[in-house]
């Protein structure tokens, strides 16, 4: 018989509906049952693409004897972390408080008030490599609950106290310009100088950390920062975490050299990697980065589109085996590429008889034949061969796609496509961003209130702070790309909802859940980035943009309040706060390029093109028609065209440059890090006026 998960809409939960485990859905009914029966709760959190979630399901949750033990001793609850990121966020942090690193599947044991007292992740059916079996852990926890319940309740109380310190306590601190440099050095020291990425055996692309390093390079001109970024991106784009046949980035590499991936593909990874690659490609025009941007977008549009939005992810497994869809034997390569000089392909893509993953090959271009591109003849051949492999792979059973539409992840995809479409003049990408934005704004919105997810025809009731933050960012990125005021107005409306329903009036910052949501045992208020950027970090940058565009000081006051609210964490946890740091840089620079001129005028477009062709620090681009007046208080208020020509002004804080009508002159101004360029101009102007420079 099916358990309660038969009522769910999530593919992950539905995959467990026929387990002999009597799973409950997360909610007050399950908690009340635990209180009534006096049993502890077994909480299991996972998601569709999670390989070890599948393994634990097959080994334990489908096993009748294990299920009997669970059903007898516990109230079991299953949660899809994609549908309930608030619950996942709470218990991942709780796992850390209990001395566990977290991850998925997350296995938590809770009191009837949902407070955790023991944490684990994947547990094997039989004891393995020193890891106790799941049944042993279940038996030990059940016995401890009967015999040592007060000790377990003490554990739960300590977790609550720790989370109160983390989320519901004063974390304000001083801010100064030197924080950016100190944090960037600290982050850079954590990177692997040989292969890129954070040093260690498992490596995640971590584009929000790379963004801090790139900002630091643009700010200081120090090659050490650019080398960290370029080394990381090169190895990610050439390694096995990139799907060389079908496109798209895997979630992480299982080895330090980026050759063997964990094969699941997440929507947010594609979006964040596109964003970061665009910024760097604007600087150096590397063919590798440009090609990966185009190929990633092609993968999104071909394989992840669900109507007018994007699916959440692809599973790591197919036919019960991790990576089976993606790996190749040498014989399979030879058969698919017969008659096309397969030996050259095997040489460049590191194909061997023994393989590098369970006797088969994960394709990558690191090591034996360095360099990209190798030459027109080679790359043309490889493109044809990859197409043949894609055709051959299409005959395999594909991994399951999780077709849930998540508001925050789609917001990231919209922003990435809008930026990439504007930079590379790809109208299809921009049109896709706009149609996805319109879909989310209607199908996952009730007035100005957003929902978090849409699964089939079932829409979640409430959105989270991350949904609003990432859709605000999407709206402002579309405003940047199109200068259409409707996107600006939508960003303002969602910001009003965030302020009204999510703001913590005591400590500052946005909470994950709205004030009128069904409460968790503690309300998360997150500044640390997880697999995606935190809502508070994102909003520092977006409130800066809103202030620069509108000159409304309420936005400035709110972003300053967020900066101050979490500044006390910078000394100990800057590695976990990259989006905060990028937002702080945006606020500190307050950089905007204002172009006054008719939007359809060729000279206006030429000035805009100069801005889009440069990798710049965080900034705002504003195109103002001659008849339109900027608000009083705006740094460029009253600026007009010079001699009837479209004119650009580079503005920072309260100062704008002299008017520029020549695209080449604007390009020259934008070559230097923004604050150095402004300082040089100020000194030059002071010298010309006969004043002593500061």
Q: What pLDDT sits at residue 678?
A: 47
The predicted model scores a pTM of 0.94
Q: Count other Cβ atoms within 10 Å, centred on residue 139.
A: 14
pLDDT score recorded for residue 677: 46
Q: What is the rounded CA–CA span in Å between residue 180 and residue 186?
A: 10
- Residue pLDDT, tens place only, 492-549: 999 999 999 999 999 999 999 999 888 899 999 999 999 999 999 999 999 999 999 9
On whether the CB atoms of residues 545 and 589 are closer than 8 A, the answer is no
Q: How many whole angstroms from its chain centre is CA 645?
A: 41
Secondary element (H or E) of residue 651: strand 647-652
Question: What's the mean pLDDT when you consider all of the chain?
Answer: 94
Dihedral-angle region of residue 200 (phi above 0 means left; psi in -120 to 50 means alpha; beta otherwise): left
Q: Residues 316, 323: contact at Cβ < 8 Å?
A: yes
Measured CA distances, 380 to 216, 244, 345 (Å): 37, 14, 11
Domains of the chain: 4-167 (3.40.30.10), 179-185+427-588 (1.50.10.20), 201-403 (no CATH), 590-688 (3.40.30)
Which of the 8 DSSP states describes residue 567? Answer: G
Peptide bond between residue 105 and the one before it cis (omega within 30 degrees of 0)? yes
Asked if omega into 373 is within 30° of 0 (cis), the reply is yes
Indicate whether 673 pLDDT > 60: no
Task: Give the Å distances, CA to CA, from 449 to 311, 442, 534.
Answer: 21, 10, 19
List CB contacts of 96: < 8 A, sequence separation 6 or more: 102
| pLDDT tens profile 191-228 | 999 999 999 989 999 999 999 999 999 988 899 999 99
Averaged pLDDT, 671-682 = 51
Q: At what angle do helices 149-167 and 134-147 cross, to 10 degrees?
A: 100
Which has more confidence, 371 or 407? 407
> Whole-angstrom Cα distance, residue 378 to residue 399?
31
CA distance 530 to 76: 26
Q: What is the token pair recorded at 474?
A: 């999407």
Query: 84: Cβ–Cβ under 8 A, 6 or more apart, which residues?
Result: 26
Characterize the bridge pairing of strands 445-446 and 449-450.
antiparallel
- Residue 61: DSSP 8-state: I
Report the alpha-carbon distance of residue 585 to residue 617 in Å, rounded.
8
Distance CA 274, CA 290 (A): 10
Exposed (0-12), middle (13-18) or buried (19+): which is 239, by Cβ within 10 Å?
buried
Looking at residue 162, its pLDDT comes to 94
Bridge partners (DSSP) of residue 209 are none
Tokens of 494: 């969602």
Cα Rg of the chain (Å, integer)? 26
Q: Does residue 168 have a pLDDT over 80?
A: yes
Contacts of 519 (CB under 8 A, 6+ apart): 513
The DSSP line for 218-243 is HHH--HHHHHHHHHHHHHHHHSTTB-
Asked if 364 contacts 245 with a C-beta cutoff of 8 angstroms, the reply is: no
Query: Which whole number is the average pLDDT over 261-273?
Result: 97
Angle at 315 between CA 311 and CA 319, to 5 degrees: 135
Tell me the C-alpha distance between 539 and 580, whole Å: 9
């Amino acid at each position: 018989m099916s358990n309660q998960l038969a009522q769910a809409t999530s593919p992950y939960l539905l995959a467990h509906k026929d387990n002999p485990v009597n799973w409950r859905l997360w909610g007050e009914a399950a908690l009340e049952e635990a209180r009534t029966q006096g049993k502890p709760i077994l909480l299991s959190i996972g998601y569709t693409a999670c390989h070890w979630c599948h393994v634990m399901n097959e080994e334990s949750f489908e096993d009748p004897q294990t299920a009997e033990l669970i059903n007898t001793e516990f109230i079991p609850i299953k949660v899809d972390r994609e549908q309930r990121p608030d619950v996942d966020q709470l218990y991942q942090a709780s796992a850390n408080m209990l001395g566990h690193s977290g991850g998925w599947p997350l296995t938590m044991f809770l009191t009837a008030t949902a407070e955790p007292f023991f944490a684990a992740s994947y547990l094997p059916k039989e004891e393995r490599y020193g890891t106790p079996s799941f049944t042993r852990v279940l038996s030990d926890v059940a016995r401890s609950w009967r015999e040592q319940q007060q000790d377990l309740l003490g554990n739960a109380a300590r977790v609550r106290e720790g989370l109160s310190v983390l989320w519901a306590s004063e974390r304000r601190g001083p801010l100064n310009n030197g924080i950016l440099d100190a944090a960037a050095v600290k982050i850079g020291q954590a990177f692997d100088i040989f292969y890129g990425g954070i040093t260690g055996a498992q490596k995640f692309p971590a584009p929000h950390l790379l963004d801090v390093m790139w900002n630091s390079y643009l700010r200081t001109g120090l090659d050490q920062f650019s080398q960290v970024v370029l080394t990381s991106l090169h190895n990610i784009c050439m390694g096995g975490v990139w799907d060389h046949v079908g496109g798209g980035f895997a979630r992480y590499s299982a080895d330090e050299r980026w050759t063997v991936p964990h094969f699941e593909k997440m929507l947010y990874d594609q979006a964040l990697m596109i964003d970061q690659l665009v910024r760097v490609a604007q600087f150096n025009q590397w063919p590798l980065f440009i090609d990966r941007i185009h190929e990633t977008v092609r993968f999104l549009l071909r394989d992840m589109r669900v109507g007018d939005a994007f699916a959440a992810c692809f599973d790591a497994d197919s036919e019960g085996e991790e990576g089976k869809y993606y790996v190749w034997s040498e014989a399979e390569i030879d058969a698919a590429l017969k008659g096309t000089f397969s030996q050259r392909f095997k040489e460049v893509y590191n194909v061997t008889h023994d393989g590098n993953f369970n006797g088969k090959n994960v394709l990558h271009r690191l090591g034996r034949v360095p360099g990209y591109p190798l030459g027109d003849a080679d790359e043309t051949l490889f493109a044809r061969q990859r197409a043949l492999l894609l055709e051959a792979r299409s005959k395999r059973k594909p991994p399951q796609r999780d077709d849930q539409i998540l508001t925050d992840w789609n917001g990231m995809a919209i922003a990435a496509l809008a930026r990439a479409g504007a930079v590379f003049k790809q109208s299809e990408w921009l049109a896709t961003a706009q149609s996805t934005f319109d879909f989310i704004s209607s199908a996952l919105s009730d007035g100005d209130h957003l929902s978090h997810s849409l699964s089939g025809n079932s829409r979640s009731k409430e959105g989270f702070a991350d949904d609003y933050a990432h859709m605000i960012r999407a709206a402002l990125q579309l405003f940047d790309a199109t200068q259409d005021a409707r996107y600006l107005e939508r960003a303002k409306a969602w910001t009003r909802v965030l302020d009204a329903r999510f703001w913590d009036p005591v400590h500052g910052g946005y909470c994950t859940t709205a004030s009128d949501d069904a409460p968790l045992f503690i309300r998360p208020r997150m500044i640390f980035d997880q697999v995606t950027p935190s809502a508070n970090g994102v909003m520092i940058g977006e409130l800066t943009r809103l202030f620069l565009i509108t000159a409304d000081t309420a936005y400035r006051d709110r972003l300053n309040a967020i900066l101050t609210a979490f500044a006390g964490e910078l000394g100990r946890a800057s590695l976990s706060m990259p989006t905060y740091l990028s937002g702080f840089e945006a606020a500190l620079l307050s950089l905007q390029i204002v172009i006054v001129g008719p939007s359809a005028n060729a000279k206006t477009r030429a000035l805009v093109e100069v801005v889009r062709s440069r990798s710049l620090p965080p900034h705002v681009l504003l195109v103002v028609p001659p008849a339109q007046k900027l608000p009083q208080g705006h740094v460029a208020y009253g600026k007009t065209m010079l001699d009837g020509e479209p004119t650009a002004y580079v503005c920072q804080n309260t100062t704008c440059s002299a008017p520029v009508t020549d695209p080449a002159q604007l390009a020259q101004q934008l070559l230097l890090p923004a604050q150095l360029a402004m300082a040089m101009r100020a000194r030059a102007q002071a010298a010309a006026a006969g004043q002593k420079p500061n």
